Structure 1
Amino acid sequence: MDYDFSNKVVLITGASAGIGESTALLFAKLGAKLSLVGRNEAHLRAVAAECEKQKGVKPLAIVADLGTDEGVQKTAKETLEHFKRLDVLVNNAAVGARTTLLHETDMKIFDDVFTINVRGVYLLTKLLAPALIETKGNIINVSSVSATMVALGTLPYGMAKAALDHFTRLVSLELASKGVRVNAVSPGMTVSSFVKRLTGSTDEEYQAWLAATSKYIPMGEPCVGDDIAKMIVHVASEHSRLVTGTIVEVDGGMRFGNFSNAFSKQAK
């Protein structure tokens, strides 16, 4: 199955590491013109440089905090001013949180999670929807199986991802008549610095934790960033031209296993 994104403009948020980085590199290999957004300037520019090596197409790197309206507005404005169009929006930027029980939760954590994971996605999509309608483009929201799995210590994050899933379905209905598809890709446990930070582990401890928790995943191993990137590309491509309003899980069957108990004890 061939994928070609030559002359397509793809905006990826949270592109400086993890799933966002893997997704940026894969789209670059497929010829896309990239707008990459992240908060860590050094990491973002390093990813942009690697993307340019793939096909010689220099990405636009935007340093912005999508937890602020100013950062979201800057992202939309600079992308459209630079490329004059948009074909694919990948809403990947997110923050995680390892929390205590409901009655002990710090509301700042709740606010931070919802500001970036929900409000930022809502506003950026709102600002870029007209451009996507013009190109009959599509939107991929990066969700999480935490939206449907119940595990202690994940309340704000799980709620935010559940909201993102519902946002996906509703916006897909709003934009279907305009020719714009809206879907979500929902990763399970994915090897990344994002998860490592939430566990608070050293490198050795994190590797040991991955090995121990993999037994709770029916297919026996966690995802890597490229697993998620390949699904994002597939859903964004013409091979999925009638797929909309869908939440696609990439999790090795994790949602069917007994992973939530281990997750409650060890991670986010």
Structure 2
Amino acid sequence: MELAGKVALITGSASGIGKEIALKLSSLGADVVITDINRDGIQEVVQKCRSLHKHKALGVYADITSESDVKNLVDKTVEEYERIDILVNCAGICPKSYFHDPDYVEVFDKVMNTNVRSVQVLTQLVVPYLETTKGNIVNISSVCAVVPIPMTMAYCMSKSAINMFTKCLAMHLGPKGVRVNSINPGSVLTPLLGENAQYMVKACGNNYPLKRIGETVDIAESVAFLVSDKASFITGINMPVDGGAALVMRLY
């Protein structure tokens, strides 16, 4: 298996895209760390990885906005595996709030703290281990980093920040043998869509060039490629995996 002997830490991995990434990397031989705020979801994914793929899986509860939780996450990972080869920063939030809404600044602070600041804190703690293993990082960004949507303005800005973080960190860590890339998904069918799921399926079918909404497996396969040796000469890219969404003026 391509990732045999590797240790992959994936945030937001109790459901949706993060869960699919964890299952995919586990299927390729990696020992995975499942972390989320959803305790039940963590255990479900851990058991699935263990039963389906016969590889190690560690579940750690963590609120990524809590620095003490993040430190505990890294400590438990290293205590269990003694190394980290892959970091996938997947956890994030996407609340709706227009700029004129009274709570916009409050929403902005929460989004930036969750989607941007927490990534800095965790990545800074993990990088020393990645330097030792010549590992790599994949940040889950969004097509919204380049396609503006007024009702999720704060989210769009947070993902633009992740795109630039990816490029800057790739330049910084490249000489140390660590690769850093990001995936920019379009709309993906996950529980996060909630009651809007059917609307989004129809909207993407009408507007995306590939005429369908994204599936979690689409993102997981792309991450698997970027963390593998097949992508050993790729760093600093923001890879669109969006069904062509960024080619059109509107997403839906």
Corresponding residue of 1:133? 131
TM-score calculated relative to the size of structure 1: 0.91
Shift of 1:150: 1.0
Q: What amino acid does structure 2 have at the position aligned with 1:9?
A: V
Contact 1:100-1:153 at 8 Å conserved across structures: yes
Corresponding residue of 1:266? none
Contact 2:200-2:213 at 8 Å conserved across structures: no
- Give structure 1 regions of 4+ aligned residues with deviation exceeding 4 angstroms: none
> CA offsets, 1:146-179, max 9 Å, x none?
0110112011100000001111000111100000
Shift of 1:21: 0.5
Equivalent residues in 2 for 1:196-235 (5 A)?
196=194, 201=195, 206-235=197-226
Distance 1:165 1:105 in 2: 26
Asked if residue 253 in structure 1 is aligned to residue 223 in structure 2, the reply is no
Corresponding residue of 1:149? 147
Q: Given the alignment, which residue of 46, 51, 54 partners 1:53?
A: 51
Q: Given the alignment, which residue of 107, 119, 122 partners 1:121?
A: 119
> CA offsets, 1:179-220, max 9 Å, x none?
000000110010011233xxxx2xxx5314421342110110
Shift of 1:116: 1.2
Q: Given the alignment, which residue of 6, 21, 35 partners 1:37?
A: 35
Distance 1:213 1:142 in 2: 20
> CA offsets, 1:34-63, max 9 Å, x none?
111110000111011111122212311000
Contact 1:217-1:259 at 8 Å conserved across structures: no
Distance 1:31 1:67 in 2: 30
Q: Given the alignment, which residue of 83, 86, 98 partners 1:85?
A: 83
Distance 2:100 2:221 in 1: 36
Corresponding residue of 2:228? 237
> CA offsets, 1:224-263, max 9 Å, x none?
0000000000011000001000000000101112434x3x
Contact 2:189-2:197 at 8 Å conserved across structures: no
Q: What amino acid does structure 2 have at the position aligned with 1:256?
A: L
Distance 2:186 2:247 in 1: 11
Distance 2:161 2:199 in 1: 32
Shift of 1:105: 4.2
Q: Which runs of 5+ in 1 are unaligned?
A: 263-268
TM-score calculated relative to the size of structure 2: 0.96
Corresponding residue of 2:8? 10
Contact 1:38-1:44 at 8 Å conserved across structures: yes
Q: Given the alignment, which residue of 104, 110, 120 partners 1:106?
A: 104
Query: Residue 177 of structure 1: SS of its match in structure 2?
Result: helix
Q: What amino acid does structure 1 have at the position aligned with 2:245?
A: M
Identity value in percent: 32
Q: What amino acid does structure 1 have at the position aligned with 2:233?
A: L
Q: What amino acid does structure 1 have at the position aligned with 2:175?
A: S
Contact 1:67-1:112 at 8 Å conserved across structures: no
Corresponding residue of 2:156? 158
Query: Residue 52 of structure 2: SS of its match in structure 1?
Result: helix
